[in-house]
Amino acid sequence: MSNKTVKNMILTLMAAAALCAGTVSAHQLQQTATTTTCRGFCGKKLPCPNVLGCACVTQPGFTTGTCQLIAARPAK
Instruction: Please list, in sequence order, all residues whose beta carbon lies within 8 angstroms of the beta carbon of residue 67, skipping any fewer than 6 positions away.
Output: 38, 39, 40, 41, 42, 48, 49, 54, 55, 56, 57
Query: Does 65 have pLDDT greater than 50?
Result: yes
Condensed to tens digits (0 to 9), the pLDDT of residues 1-57 reads 688 888 888 878 777 766 656 655 555 555 544 445 788 999 988 998 887 888 899
pTM of the predicted model, to two decimals? 0.44
pLDDT, position 42: 93
Amino acid in the structure at residue 22: G
